[in-house]
Chains A and B, each alone.
Chain A
Amino acid sequence: MWRKLFTSVPAFRALKAPCRSFKSSSRGAEKDFFKDLDTQLRAFRDKAAAAMPGSDWSPIELTPGLPPERADVVIVGGGVVGWSIAYWLKMKARVRDGLRVLVVEKDPTYSQASTVLSCGGIRQQFSLKENILLSLFSAHFMKNINNHLWVVNEDPVDLQFNHSGYLFLASEKSAHIMEENYRTQRYVGAKVVLLSPSQLKERFPWMNTEGVALASLGLENEGWFTPAKLCSLISYIVPISSRFVYVVHCPDGPGLDTPFLIDYSGVYCRREGLGGNYITGMSPEETEEPDISNLDVDHEFFQEKVWHRLAHRIPAFEQLKVSSAWAGFYDYNTFDQNGIIGLHPLVPNMYFATGFSGHGLQQSPAVGLAVAELILDGGYKTIDLSAFDLKRILLQEPIQESNIV
């Protein structure tokens, strides 16, 4: 900067000419030394000029980008659950830097993370009251996400939350389970309604209601969102199994009010975007778990298992075309398919929040708050999740969710 000041003065240019001839004189080594010194000094001056008061440039350049040596809480895994726990820990530490939290994630591109590869659905139609409460809280969180995560000067966060609801279909044998679940859900506060086959046909004329005894539809706080948008908010820094999701295109398919349809045979389907695309898939049977070593999609699975069931339920899907597919990991809790949250029985300062078996994304904000309360407040405050503690596995008392997918 100083140099620029000087060279702009015309008189100095006259001075420079004799310097140039001096430079071309013999002594080679000295000339190099001075030139090096000069470049170094200039670099130093530029840096110093850039370091206005308030910048944190220091002449002692410590290696940048290293993780901190110490942290108060280390979260292993930076997916949506880990990120949510980190967020709530920081929120509860009311003072900035009150708690040093470190999130450790193996794959910074999240290419294989369940978070990104999930369908992004959120529903309250569970049978366990804790699951319903978790999803309700998460739905409120996502609806009001701009209160929580909006940074001033940036665009408001848009999760593309489609509130179309989930539609569960039950056959004759499972109708009574659905009724019981409906009672639990209404008691806890989810807005669900039961539909008979004729009401179904009225509401969704494109559906084939053969074999359906009862259906339950979520009216509010249910739907799906784009997990990748949630993922991009992640700023820093169990036995698994995989599921296949297929994107199909059908021009005459169900319209805009299509809910996230879950048939009693296990196949599910939802609308994706506005161009007649749908996302569909099916949970494979226990005996035919797909290979988890890679994320290659099994198209045979679609042809043999999924398509005919889908077409049976929605006749328009007989003419569809698979446009793409992907596979994602399911953090599957083989014991009772519900999350495990709580303290480790032997290690005194280790907490778990894992095994959500397909519900991790939709329950993540609430689970994050619950774990943050466990760590900082010594117990659950907002939602009591002591039913999900690890000791149910030690005592062999599963808490089953009926009607799961």
Chain B
Amino acid sequence: MLKVLIPTMMLFPTIWLTSPKWLWTTTTAHSLLIASASLTWLKWTSEAGWAFSNMYLATDPLSTPLLVLTCWLLPLMILASQNHINPEPVGRQRSYITLLALLQTFLIMAFGATEIIMFYIMFEATLIPTLIIITRWGNQAERLNAGTYFLFYTLAGSLPLLVALLLLQQSTGTLSMLVLQYSQPLQLSSWGHMAWWAGCLVAFLVKMPLYGVHLWLPKAHVEAPVAGSMVLAAVLLKLGGYGMMRMMVTLDPLSKELAYPFIILALWGIIMTGSICLRQTDLKSLIAYSSVSHMGLVAGGVLIQTPWGFSGAIILMIAHGLASSALFCLANTAYERTHSRTMMLARGLQMIFPLTAVWWLAANLANLALPPLPNLMGELMIITTLFNWSPWTILLTGLGALITASYSLYMFLMSQRGPTPNHIMGLQPFHTREHLLMTLHLIPIILLMTKPELMWGWCY
């Protein structure tokens, strides 16, 4: 664990002491090295449930895929931001990369935490760099509104979580995940206990986001710069899912009844947000709502608490992280050229950017869960476990899959096919950096297709 954490901490001196000419190259290379070092976590050798541990941090099959995703994403974020941050003064460029690295550090510590309180502190700590990235480097005046929504929705959810965690510490004497998994199931029956149950989960449901509390997400994703959108979509949403999966261990047996309304909200959210996607005119907004839709499935899978549900949730989280991040990168390439996110104005791009059309197609196919990509695997496992819980859910999930396919195809056809307007004929061609970025997103998804055991969680 330290062999990744210490290089990440050393990223800060690297950022501030490198000469401006070599800043981006060095930071990208450094973070790629960290990413390759993190791949060693994938080799599962431990007999016990946890591996690579020290006193406070450890990895286990649930957190390993998310940790690797986090580490993999930092070089991609730096690659993606290079173009639009370059015109700024060097000090500001360094601050930007520092914020990304800070986010990385907090996320590694969050996913690797063995104490739930440490997880909570890191969960809250990730809010601050993200807020700064959105409000300082966002493009429109609405970013202030977006930052406010983001901050206060998440805070309002997580302050009850603090109280709940302290109560848990009070009653069980420990908050270490290593120990809590062996503790006796708590006697939970009164209204107070139900409130405690809700307090434990609401923070993560807001973060996922669950359909009723999802309003912060489209705003934050749209107003954030590309690196902000990438890390939000790929990793920060998964903090919610991961937190839920950790907490569910201690929340039995109340979850049997209390999870019901949240599962229904999640399933309904898949359909509603999918339908909203079909009516979107802003490209990033469409991708943001599709994130809500996929995370609704994940929330449903986690709340069911079966092995297939958990595995499906983890797989979908990883696959969605990569696919969604890829889509945001593509949307950003269009934005950097036309300075507009309106879908109607940047059409027929296939004629002028043929190779990029391949990336668009691949990312959209991944988004709509095309077999044999892992997106489909995750979705199928969740749909199956929901069907097992109640056969009627197949109506909602099936319809949701249909709507997902239609808006993904709509996005592809709207941006790539059709007549190319005259005013975008003279756009700058694609940079090698952008092609590299897209391949680095899509190759892991394809490789994961070949060894999905890496993502299956405890069922491996």
Contact = CB atoms under 8 A, between A and B. Distances in A.
A351 B424 CA distance: 12
Contact of A343 (B141, B344, B420, B422): B422
Contacts of A95: 279, 281
Contacts of B422: 343, 374, 378-379
Of B340, B344, B420, chain A has the most CB atoms within 10 Å of the CB of B344
A343 B420 CA distance: 14
B451 interface: no
Contacts of A351: 423
B323 to A, nearest CB: 25
Contact of B423 (A70, A100, A348): A348
A70 B279 contact: no
A378 B419 contact: yes
Given A69-B140, A70-B140, A98-B281, A93 B344 contact: yes
B281 A377 contact: no
Contacts of A70: 140
A351 B421 CA distance: 12
B425 interface: yes
B342 A72 contact: yes
A377 B419 contact: yes
Interface in A23-73: 69-70, 72
B13 interface: no
Max count, chain A CB within 10 A of own CB: residue among B419, B423, B425: B423
A343 B422 CA distance: 8
Contacts of A348: 423-426
A378 B420 contact: yes
B342 A378 contact: no
A100 B339 CA distance: 13
A102 interface: no
B140 A375 contact: no
A285 interface: no
Contacts of B418: 378
Interface in A346-373: 348-351
A375 B344 CA distance: 10
Nearest to A344: B423
B345 A99 contact: yes
B141 A99 contact: no
Question: What does DSSP make chain B's interface, helix, strand, loop or mixed?
Answer: loop
B225 interface: no
B348 interface: yes
Nearest to A343: B422
A350 B423 CA distance: 7
Interface residues of A, number: 20
Contact of A69 (B141, B279, B425): B141
Contact of A97 (B140, B281, B343): B281
Contacts of B344: 72, 93, 98-99, 376
Contacts of B420: 378
A66 B225 CA distance: 26
A166 B424 CA distance: 42
A72 B140 CA distance: 14
B342 A100 contact: yes
A377 B141 CA distance: 30
B281 A378 contact: no
Contacts of B419: 377-379
Contacts of B347: 376, 378
Contacts of A93: 281, 344
Contacts of A349: 423-424
Nearest to A349: B423
A376 to B, nearest CB: 6
A100 B347 CA distance: 16
Nearest to A350: B423
Interface in B391-437: 418-426
Interface in A362-405: 374-379
Contacts of B425: 348
Nearest to B141: A69
B140 A378 contact: no
Contact of A99 (B279, B342, B423, B426): B342
Interface string B119-161: 0000000000000000000001100000000000000000000
Contacts of B421: 374-378
Contacts of B141: 69
A386 to B, nearest CB: 11
B342 A343 contact: no
A377 B418 CA distance: 8
Contacts of A374: 421-422
Interface string B314-347: 0000000000000000000000000010111101
Nearest to A72: B342
B72 to A, nearest CB: 34
B423 A343 contact: yes
B90 to A, nearest CB: 28
Interface in A67-106: 69-70, 72, 93, 95, 97-100
Q: Which of A100, A349, A374 has the most CB of B within 10 A?
A: A349
B276 to A, nearest CB: 12
Nearest to B419: A378
Interface in A315-358: 343, 348-351
B379 to A, nearest CB: 28
Most buried by B among A98, A351, A374, A379: A98
A340 B41 CA distance: 66
Contacts of B281: 93, 95, 97-99
Nearest to B339: A70
A377 B422 CA distance: 9
Nearest to A100: B342
A351 B345 CA distance: 14
B256 to A, nearest CB: 36
A99 B424 CA distance: 16
A93 B343 CA distance: 10
A351 B418 CA distance: 20
Contacts of B423: 343, 348-351, 375
Given A377-B421, A379-B419, A72 B348 contact: no
A393 to B, nearest CB: 18
Contacts of A72: 340, 342, 344-345
Contact of A378 (B340, B348, B426): B348
B389 to A, nearest CB: 36
A377 B423 CA distance: 11
Q: Most chain-A CB neighbours within 10 Å: which of B140, B342, B348, B425?
A: B342
A375 to B, nearest CB: 6
Interface string B356-389: 0000000000000000000000000000000000
* Residue among A72, A343, A378 having the largest count of chain B Cβ atoms under 10 Å: A378
Interface of A: 69-70, 72, 93, 95, 97-100, 343, 348-351, 374-379
Q: Which 9 A-B pairs have the closest CB atoms?
A: A378-B419, A98-B281, A349-B423, A348-B426, A378-B421, A343-B422, A72-B342, A95-B281, A377-B419
13 contacts: A72-B340, A72-B344, A99-B281, A343-B423, A348-B424, A348-B425, A349-B423, A350-B423, A374-B422, A375-B423, A376-B345, A378-B421, A378-B422
Interface of B: 140-141, 279, 281, 340, 342-345, 347-348, 418-426
